[in-house]
Each structure stands twice: as C-alpha cells, then as structure tokens.
C-alpha cells in the first residue's frame, strides 16, 4: 500500500488479466477490486443489513401447477396469487416445476466448470477485447472510482440463432455447445411459460408480455466464475445492481447471490433443481411498477469458488415497450414512459454504479 496511486496498474491492465489467474498465482487483490469497508464498524453495519429472519425467504413457485390443466383451479389460483405477490414484493422467485430435469441443470454447471477449469491458453482462444461484451473475460472498464468484480465470465448471445458468434463458443469441453443449445431451447420454453403466468397473475391477457418482448426477443447467457477470494470482507463478486433486461433466469451451484428487499440483503438459497427468476427494469416498466426490479449482488468467499449461469431475456432491439394499458388506473396512474433499447442506456449508468430506471419514469 506504500505505492503512490499513479504507479498502480490502471483498470485496463487489470481487466486484461483474469481473476482466476491472480488467485492461482496467489497475488494480493489489486486496489481497484476493493469496494467494501473493513474493520469492526463496517462489519457491524454490513452484518446488520443481512437478514437472518428464517420466516422471511425468497418465495418458491411451482410452475407445473400453473401450466398444467390437470391441477385443480383453486390450486392454480393460489399459486398465481403467490406469484403476483412474490414479484410485487421481492421482484423474484425460485421456480420449481419448470420442466428442466435437475440432471440437465447439473450438466450445464458441469460443462461450464470444465470450461473455466481449463488452462488459460485454451480459454484465451475465446478472449474478448477489454471494451467488448461477447467472449471470455471481464466487463468493459467501468467509470473511474467504480470497483471491479471478483469474477471471470463467458458472455454469449444464444438466441436468435443469427446473433450467435460461433468463434466465441467453446470447443472444449466437447459437449459444451450441444448443452448450451439445448439449454437455450429450454430457456425459450421457460420464458414463454413464465411470461404467460406473470400476465395471468395480473389478470392480463396471457400473451401480453410475449407480444411486448417480440417473437425474436434475444437471450444472452453469461457464465460467471467467482474464484475464491482472500478478502471477502473487502471485495464483492459482483457489485450491487439491478438488471437492464426484461427479466433474468439464474442457475447457481453454491450460495453467494443476495437480493435487496427493503433495506436488508437476503441470500438466495441453493435448492436442487430450482432456478431464480429475477425481474429486471423492463418488466418493472411493462407492469407500470407493480413488479419490482430488485437490486442484487454477489458476495465473494474465501472458502469455495462459485459458478452461475445468468440468462438475460430482453425485448427485441428497436422495439418500443411500455406499461400495459390495463395496469394504468386511477389508483395507479401511468408511472413509466414507453422506452426502446433501454438495455443500452442502462449499461451506461451501470458502468457509473447508478441505476437508469428513473429515465423511464413519467
Ligand atoms: C448478473 C447477476 C448473479 C449471479 O449476471 O447480472 O446478477 O449469481 N448474476 O452470478
Ligand atoms: Ni444481475
């Protein structure tokens, strides 16, 4: 820490290096990753804000009850009501009964881990430029003063097919591509089921969100590898943010993700076979603020590394989306404008550690 600030490596240099490499080489985490306070005072402050209330937990929704015509209608109504409540209070839920076998979820985690566990030369074949999005690496350089994330990632456009850039798709492990293609098909089915269920929970036409997103609404997959971190008290795996997509579906192999509700952080539990469905800013707009796009973050851990796969579901480029007419009422006047390509402005704000949702407000 004796070095003068101007002799420390700038973000561009750090971001051309992988966190996993620094950990293997047992390097001290560079200053730009540090984003939390240390010491007792900070501990107290941070601890206090993490909920330990066992009765207040992220809701679990069984999608099979909602999509099957064989479940009794009273049971379906109850589950729909639970869904609406989950999204208006938490902005997320853990989905079971989504029809994707647990063994397949294990498979995608396995191939993703195998990818990250390869030697650096193999992964470098898919390396992105520091300022690019797609490929293997880290997010582009954030605004000055913003911390870097203790993670490495592989970011890929997966749907529609014409957006895929095969040069970034791993050839190793050999099953990676097939597994990701299959996961994409399953994510398409799941977004259809979830979009319909959300509409029904609000008493809307079941296709209304699907129409707003559009037939070719893009899906992007981000494989996040959170290496062990020697200073979890000072460094986050992923800084607090809300997503700029419509909504995001997250698979995780161990805990680490936390969602903010009120002024408290809640840890997303790892439930075998469950997927987290997390509202993002564009669903908040489409529901006229009924559903919340929650702030979330990932802690780092000194004990174990963590893998997650986040799939972002975003309205088609150049397509206007806005609050559903039926959700604009006297008690709830129109609170959001119509927006287009919101994810792009969201990104500019994200890089400054800010939210962009105010731009969409009336
Ligand atoms: C994200 C995100 C959570 C996770 O990629 O936007 O919030 O658990 N990921 O990796
Ligand atoms: Ni996120």
Per-residue pLDDT of the chain (362 residues; tens, 9 = 90+): 444 555 777 888 888 889 999 999 999 898 899 987 765 445 555 556 888 777 789 999 999 999 877 778 899 999 999 999 999 999 999 999 999 999 999 999 999 999 999 999 999 999 998 888 999 999 888 898 899 999 999 999 999 999 999 999 999 999 999 999 999 999 999 999 999 999 999 999 999 999 999 999 999 999 999 999 999 999 999 999 999 999 999 999 999 999 999 999 999 999 999 999 999 999 999 999 999 999 999 999 999 999 999 999 999 999 999 999 999 999 999 999 999 999 999 999 999 999 999 999 99
Which residues are CB-contacts of 117 (< 8 A; sequence separation ≥ 6)?
A: none
Q: How far, in Å, from the CA of 280 to the mean position of ligand 2?
A: 8
Gap between the Cα atoms of 178 and 176, Å rounded: 6
Q: Whose CA is nearest to atom 1 of ligand 1?
A: 310
Q: Whose CA is nearest to atom 9 of ligand 1?
A: 310
Confidence (pLDDT) at 67: 81
Burial call 65-74: b when 16+ CB within 10 Å, e when fewer: bbbeeeeeee
Identify which of 108, 248, 260 to mutate to test ligand 1's pocket (most ligand atoms within 8 A of the CB). Answer: 248
The CA dihedral of 238, 244, 249, 251, to the nearest 10 degrees, is -10
Nearest atom, ligand 1, residue 256 CA: 8
Q: How far, in Å, from the CA of 243 to the mean position of ligand 2?
A: 5
Q: How far, in Å, from the CA of 313 to the mean position of ligand 1?
A: 13
Nearest atom, ligand 1, residue 296 CA: 7
Q: Whose CA is nearest to atom 6 of ligand 1?
A: 243
DSSP state of 318: T
Q: Which residue has the tokens 């729909």?
A: 80
Query: Residue 147: enclosing H or E segment and its boundaries?
Result: none
List beta partners, residue 342.
none
Cis peptide preceding 91, ω within 30 of 0:
no
Gap between the Cα atoms of 300 and 177, Å rounded: 28
Q: How far, in Å, from the CA of 325 to the mean position of ligand 1?
A: 31
Give ligand 1 pocket residues (Cβ under 6 A).
Answer: 222, 224, 238, 243, 250, 252, 257, 296, 298, 308, 310
Residue 289 near residue 335, CB atoms below 8 Å: yes
Identify which of 149, 225, 250 to mutate to test ligand 1's pocket (most ligand atoms within 8 A of the CB). Answer: 250
Nearest to 217 by CA among 192, 242, 193, 199: 192
Q: How far, in Å, from the CA of 257 to the mean position of ligand 2?
A: 9
Q: How far, in Å, from the CA of 310 to the mean position of ligand 1?
A: 6
DSSP state of 179: H
Which ligand is nearest the CA of 294, by number?
Answer: 2
Nearest to 157 by CA among 178, 136, 134: 134
Q: Half-sphere exposure of residue 122, counting CA atoms within 13 Å on the CB side?
A: 11
Q: How far, in Å, from the CA of 342 to the mean position of ligand 2?
A: 15
Q: How far, in Å, from the CA of 46 to the mean position of ligand 1?
A: 20
Confidence (pLDDT) at 206: 96
Which ligand is nearest the CA of 300, by number?
Answer: 1
Nearest atom, ligand 1, residue 252 CA: 8
């Amino acid at each position: 820490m004796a070095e003068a600030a101007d002799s420390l490596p700038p973000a561009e240099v750090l971001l051309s290096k992988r966190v996993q490499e620094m950990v293997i080489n047992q390097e001290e985490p560079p200053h730009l990753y540090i984003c939390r306070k240390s010491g007792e005072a900070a501990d107290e402050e941070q601890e206090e804000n993490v909920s330990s209330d066992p009765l207040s937990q992220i809701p679990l929704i069984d999608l099979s009850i909602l999509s099957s015509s064989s479940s009794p209608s009273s049971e379906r109504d109850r589950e729909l009501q639970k869904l609406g409540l989950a999204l208006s209070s938490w902005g997320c839920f853990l989905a079971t009964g989504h029809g994707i076998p647990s063994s397949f979820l294990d498979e995608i985690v396995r191939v993703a881990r195998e990818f990250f566990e390869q030697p650096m030369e193999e992964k470098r074949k898919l390396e992105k430029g520091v300022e690019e999005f797609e490929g293997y690496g880290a997010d582009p350089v954030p605004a000055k003063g913003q911390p870097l994330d203790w993670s490495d990632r592989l970011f890929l456009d997966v749907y529609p097919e014409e957006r895929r850039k095969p040069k970034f798709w791993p050839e190793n492990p050999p099953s990676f591509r097939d597994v990701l293609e299959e996961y994409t098909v399953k994510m398409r089915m799941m977004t259809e089921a979830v979009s319909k269920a959300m509409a029904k929970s609000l008493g809307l036409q079941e296709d209304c969100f699907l129409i707003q997103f559009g037939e070719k609404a893009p899906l992007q997959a981000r494989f996040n590898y959170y290496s062990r971190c020697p200073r979890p008290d000072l460094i986050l795996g992923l800084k607090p943010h809300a997503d700029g997509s419509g909504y995001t579906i997250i698979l995780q192999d161990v805990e680490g993700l936390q969602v903010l509700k009120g002024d408290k952080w809640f840890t997303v539990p790892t439930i075998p076979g469950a997927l987290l469905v997390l509202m993002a800013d564009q669903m908040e707009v489409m529901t006229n603020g009924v559903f919340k796009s929650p702030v979330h973050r990932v802690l780092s851990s000194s004990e174990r590394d963590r893998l997650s796969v986040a799939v972002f579901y975003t309205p088609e480029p150049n397509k206007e989306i806005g609050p559903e007419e039926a959700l604009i009422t006297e008690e709830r006047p129109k609170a959001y404008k119509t927006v287009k390509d919101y994810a792009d402005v969201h990104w500019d704000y994200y890089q400054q550690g800010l939210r962009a949702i105010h731009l969409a407000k009336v």
